[in-house]
Homo-oligomer: A and B are copies of this chain.
Amino acid sequence: MKIIEPTLIVNKNQVIENVSKIQKKATKSNVRFRPHFKTHQSAEIGNWFKELGVNCITVSSVRMAECFTKAGWKDITIAFPVNILEIEKINELAKSVQLNLLVESVETAKNLEEELKYSVKVWINIDTGYHRDGIEWNKIHKIIQIASLIHNARNMQLTGILTHAGHSYKARTRTEILVIHENTINKMDQLREKLKLEGYNDLQISVGDTPTVSIADDFSQVDEIRPGNFVFYDLKQVQIGSCSEEEIAIRLACPVIAKYDERNEILVDGGAIHLSKDFIVDGSGRTIYGYISQSMDKGFSKVKDAYVSTISQEHGTIKANNQDFFQNVNIGDIVYIIPIHACLTTNLMAKLKTLSGKEIQATCK
């Protein structure tokens, strides 16, 4: 494969391995596997899931739901609280697919009751500790009020309670992740019991961020898991403890533009418009925008003592204290950056290439 500009490479075998691993866990716990497609945003990569038997998905916007409806998916959850301004598009979708929506306010529940023309399934969006979105899990009065509005609506079928335990991204050990997992499930289970006492029977529970789904094994208390990032994984997930570096399925191939002997730095064509500006801080307090693989042939293994140290719109700087690597790399070579955040990198790049050079459109834009 001839690479002349920043190119996002995907290792299909690794993707299949990552997906199969989580799918097996779901099967073992007898829960629905509804992967989040925001990470790859690709109809073609969606087909890789379909071939493994996946038949329902999660997305994070109406736009993405439209894209995957076109790609033939028939059961789609938009895991972003309903934006009532998009009601026309929502009605269009609800006409043709099994659409599942998130509601977390009285206003939106009432608006949907007025405006929905077709039947949808509705999950109440619950905050179990992330404090980004959702109703706090113990605000039972408000939750019951919304449950009642949905229950009595013509076109809404109250399906269950859903949460995204995004605070798992602050974890740094398996134990921390497992504690969050257990805590999340306990809260959701308590809430379901309380709703049962109010007469809301058979409510389902949906959870499933990548860290907890990667580390925990038992999901038997819930009905559905919705991880997304695990399809590719990234350095953020390695830092959290969700995966190993070997499990990361993508690399940004970047041409080497210049070398600076006086400071052991390599300039590559590859910057914030390719990788995003997401970073991790390593154990030595260094800001890291990516690690490096020197070739695709060696299983993409990581170069020691080398990292992307600064980034601007199109420029990336690799600090290469590893002299073997630094001396070996020449202007015109390609190096492979292991991304910090797979979702943002894929969204920016908009397309990927497989190891055999086949181009895959990656975004639903």
Contacts and interface: CB of A to CB of B under 8 A. Distances in A.
A338 to B, nearest CB: 18
Contacts of A332: 84-85, 107, 111
Given A60-B313, A132-B312, A83 B4 contact: yes
Interface in A32-77: 38, 60-63
A172 to B, nearest CB: 19
Interface in A149-192: 166
A263 B131 contact: yes
B315 A133 contact: yes
B314 A60 contact: yes
B344 A258 contact: no
Given A5-B83, A61-B314, A104-B258, 12 more contacts: A3-B85, A5-B85, A80-B257, A80-B269, A84-B332, A132-B310, A132-B312, A133-B258, A133-B315, A272-B344, A347-B348, A348-B348
A204 interface: no
Contact of A276 (B63, B263, B276, B343): B276
A83 B133 contact: no
A324 interface: no
Given A38-B313, A111-B332, A267-B132, A83 B278 contact: no
